[in-house]
Structure 1
Amino acid sequence: MPLGSHAQLAPWAGRDPLATLEEQGRTRVPELLPVRYGRMLASPFAFYRGGAAIMAADLAAAGSSGITVQLCGDAHVSNFGFFGTPERKQVFDLNDFDETWPGPFEWDVKRLAASLEIAGRETGLRRKERRALTVGTVRAYRRSMAEFAGQSALEVWYARAELQPGLPRLMKELPKAARAATAKVVSKSRGRDAAHAVAKLTRSEFGQRRFVSDPPILVPLRELAPELAEDLTKLLSQLLEQYRSSLQPDRRVLLDRYQLVDMARKAVGVGSVGTRAWLLLLTDELGNPLLLQAKEAAESVLAPHLPWPALDNQGRRVVEGQRLMQASSDILLGWQRVTGVDGVERDFYLRQFRDWKGGFEIETLDPATMARLSEACAWTLARAHARSGDPRDIALYLATPPGPTPPDGVSDAGAVFDEAVADFAVAYADQNERDHAELAAAVDSGRLPAVHDL
């Protein structure tokens, strides 16, 4: 596939984005679907965040490089952010792996570039500014991959973007005000831990913490289905107990120090709304909290388009993909399958909820911060791909030989790829706006229900 051909957008025969969303909704919680559609209606960027399945089909309609890596599958700019490592360092990395699946590396690059074009339109960036943003991001990915291609496998594996004492790739050349705003986002994310979440989402009842009801976003198990409360409690307790076996032995010891005290269903994200997601509140002997999220794992939206031997559990697929792509993963990340009260088997993955997790409100960023953030995302994505694929194959395909790359301002053969993906991003942003308008029309006509501002 010539580098210039990556500019092509080839919609598939019978393309129907709303039918794709409706098909996803068939296996989701019905009462949460209006929340999903309402969130996707908020803006073209929100629609894009929820439309990974639509874009997967669009990408599959075009050719590919054939160079396989572990894909994130949903590598838009808002799926990069901060979280804490087991060593209690703060890092910048990918933070969503629901759609992870092996596939051609450029699919992730195109999803990132298109997200920047779409977000740039919403923030009011001029056309030239958006062009510079997308071209610069793809160039940063390509040149970062060349750097990784010149390193040993261990050097690539140890590479991480730590935020202590700072993140040079994000902070360099930022105006003073932007540096201060970025530092505030980083500092705020460090306060987003179990104690903070418990204080916000629970209250004390007779000396015991209980989730506060906020339907339909947060519904305690005791209120969700009173007639099934006992069965659901047993089910989630079983899920927690069996998930323990997917952890390393030392982490089982840690988990055993906690007891389950309450459970609630929580609607999360944009594209994920409607999948079954539970918050599990545990405490140790001193009452210190541990908050776990158990999230349903369905088949990746990439799987129908990219034949690959499937794992025996979709939760395991998410966990193993995350461990492969991230520099450092949650110590309590694991998976399990349970049979629901409706008799249907479902796969879940579990992790800590909001362990120093944070990110930027993309729509509010100034051009300089957006550019630095996009470069950090590109470096991070290249690092993730270099861990799972062969960075030398990718670098040579992109006409960027392994090792040091030319400084900015010096042309190189790989620039053809930068420009082609930037062209693709513009075409896809236009398509995304039409899809967003189609959803709005479907809601207005009554075809799809939507609840706004939730």
Structure 2
Amino acid sequence: MPATLAELAEVPAASSRTDALAILSEQAASRLPDLVPVRNARMAATPFTFYRGAAAVMAADLAATPNSGIRTQLCGDAHLSNFGMYFTPERRMVFDLNDFDETYPGPFEWDVKRLAASFVVAAREDGFDDAEARKVAKRVARAYRKSIARSVGKSTLECWYARIDTDQVLAELGEKLDTAAVERTRKGLEKARHRDSVHALSKLCVIVDGVAHIRSDPPLLVPLHELLGDAAGELVDHQLTDRLAEYRESLPHNTRELFAQYTFEEAARKVVGVGSVGTRAWIALLLGRDLTDPLFLQMKEAQQSVLAKHVPDGPVYDNQGRRVVEGQRMMQAASDVFLGWQSGVDPDGVVRDFYVRQLRDGKGSVVIEALEPAGLEMYAKLCGRTLAQAHARTAQRHAIAEYVGRTKEFDDAIADFAMGYAELNVGDHAALVAAIADGRMPSETL
């Protein structure tokens, strides 16, 4: 039976949960051993950084609670830091979901719950009291509910083409926030507009005798030849060329022709994020005409979604990179033209799946720590609306709108869940800190 709205507030009892550290240790088995301590250190920094890296922990918890039975395409890791700005192919700056490593079909409210709980965790970290934190979580749910309700009155194509322009967001913020907050947002937007491959070249490379080389900053950024040795590095260079050719076949024909104008120059391993640390992530420098015409691609390992084992009869993918790409294209208002996938043999001889995208294309995010209660509440509304817009691109918007209804019952249930789950997260974070302190979990701060 589908859960009632009131039942959505339930959180699993602490005594019945799968141990969070056991889940993290299971994930570590498939990751680069030298980077697992880095991941643990980043997650241990604060309750919020733990939450960011604990998508697998929350997936197990969500699966143990009543659900709506309404399945749609999920982001799978819809916490507040996975929303942000980027350029569309038409060079418009939009605000949207921007991380899909865990995308997979599942009960729609799993995304809403992860988003709302992330705001509670962040609000507490910023010193907000429980009443303020709950208000922000409730704002997420209310914005989601109202946006989904509006989507039912729109045509299918209107829902598909809907997008949130950052200039529009800035105008809305200007009406409700103080001048200093708006100015910080404006500066962040301008900074994002200049984050592209040319900017990446200036930050990540050194130029020697007219040739660009990726900088060495181990273990966060390590050129391939330094990581593997010259002989092995040269071999992997050739393999990467082949893998980029396979990736090219995953692109639409017009983008293949665009990509064909670039030549592979060099690659490096780059550590990214919190939860992703330890998975294989490469950056590849390609050049078009000359050094003024660079393209930086990120090739990021795609493992099975953390949701997959918890969703009965879910789809099976022959390539997890393709899962990420197809989920992203389904949920985003506009996606990177270079978004694609491939698989190949890694230096250790294991075949792994990857998805590929531009490393930087106007990407930027809000500095949550700088937001006052009013600002965080506005951001919660924006993210809730954005998530609803992503879900509304599917046929399930009608069923979701009918389920959540037009009263505050859904909002209250999600807010109650978020408050309860934030408490579980505090305990899990403390357990990781303790395990690092007594040597059960390795840690290395960079």
Letter of the 1:9 counterpart: V
Distance in 1 between the 2:324 and 2:186 partners? 31
Are the equivalent residues in 2 in contact too, given 1:170–1:375 (CA < 8 A)?
no
Match for residue 257 of structure 2 among 253, 256, 263: 253
> For this pair of structures, how many residues does the alignment match?
440
Name stretches of at least 5 consecutive residues in structure 1 with no aligned partner. Answer: 401-412
Question: Distance between the aligned counterparts of 2:81 and 2:31, measured in 1?
Answer: 23
Q: Does 1:160 pair with 2:159?
A: no
In the alignment, is the contact (CA less than 8 A) between 2:170 and 2:186 conserved in 1? no
Q: State the partner residue of 2:88.
A: 85
| Corresponding residue number in structure 2 for 1:406 | none
**Which of 298, 301, 304 is matched with 1:296 structurally?**
301
1:169 and 1:375 in contact (8 A); partners too: no
The one-letter amino acid of 1:387's match is: R
- C-alpha displacement at 1:290, in angstroms? 0.4
Counterpart Cα distance in 2 of 1:291 and 1:343: 25
1:444 equivalent in structure 2? 437
Give a deviation string over 1:92-136, Cα, whole Å, max 9, x none.
000000000000000000000000000000111122211211111
Q: Tell me the residue number matched to 1:22.
A: 25
For 1:13-412, list aligned pairs within 5 A.
13=16, 15-164=18-167, 166-226=169-229, 227-287=231-291, 288-307=293-312, 308-400=314-406
- Give 3-state SS (helix, strand or coil) of 1:293's partner: strand
Residue 8 of structure 2 is matched in structure 1 by 6
User: How far apart in 2 are the matches of 1:165 and 1:69?
Assistant: 28
Q: Distance in 2 between matches of 1:22 and 1:389?
A: 38
The question of whether the paired residues in 2 share the 8 Å contact of 1:218 and 1:264 is answered with: yes
SS at match of 2:213: strand
The question of 1:420 aligning with 2:413 is answered: yes
Aligned AA for 1:378?
Answer: G
1:167, distance to aligned residue in structure 2 (A): 4.1
Q: Quote the offset at 1:168 in angstroms.
A: 4.5
Q: Which runs of 5+ in 2 are unaligned?
A: none
> 1:291 corresponds to which letter in structure 2?
F
Quote the Cα distance in structure 2 between the aligned partners of 1:203 and 1:282.
15
Per-residue CA shift, 1:349-370, capped at 9, x if unaligned? Answer: 0000110000012122111221
Q: Secondary structure at the match of 2:338?
A: coil
Please report how far the alpha carbon of residue 150 of structure 1 lies from its aligned counterpart in structure 2 after TM superposition. Answer: 1.1
The structure 2 residue matched to 1:430, chosen from 423, 428, 432, is: 423
Q: What amino acid maps onto 1:131 in structure 2?
A: R
Q: C-alpha separation between the residues in 2 aligned to 1:153 and 1:361?
A: 34
Q: Structure 1 residues 169, 298: closer, same or farther in 2, change over 3 A? A: farther
Task: Quote the Cα distance in structure 2 between the aligned partners of 1:302 and 1:204.
Answer: 44
* Alignment root-mean-square deviation, CA: 1.3
Q: Are the aligned partners of 2:104 and 2:308 in contact in 1 as well (CA < 8 Å)?
A: yes
C-alpha deviation, 1:14, in angstroms? 5.5
Question: TM-score under structure 1 normalisation?
Answer: 0.95
Task: Name the CA distance, whole Å, in 1 between partners of 2:74 and 2:143.
Answer: 18
Deviations 1:389-434 (A, max 9, x none): 421111111113xxxxxxxxxxxx3x11111111111111111010
Show CA shifts across 1:327-381 (max 9, x none): 0000000001112233211000000011000001212211122111111111110
Distance 2:6 2:173 in 1: 29
CA–CA separation in structure 1 for the residues paired with 2:36 and 2:151:
42
Identity across aligned pairs (percent)?
A: 52
Instruction: Please give the per-residue CA displacement for 1:134-162, whole angstroms capped at 9, x wherever unaligned.
Output: 11111110000000011110110110001
Residues 170, 182 of structure 2: 8 Å contact kept: no
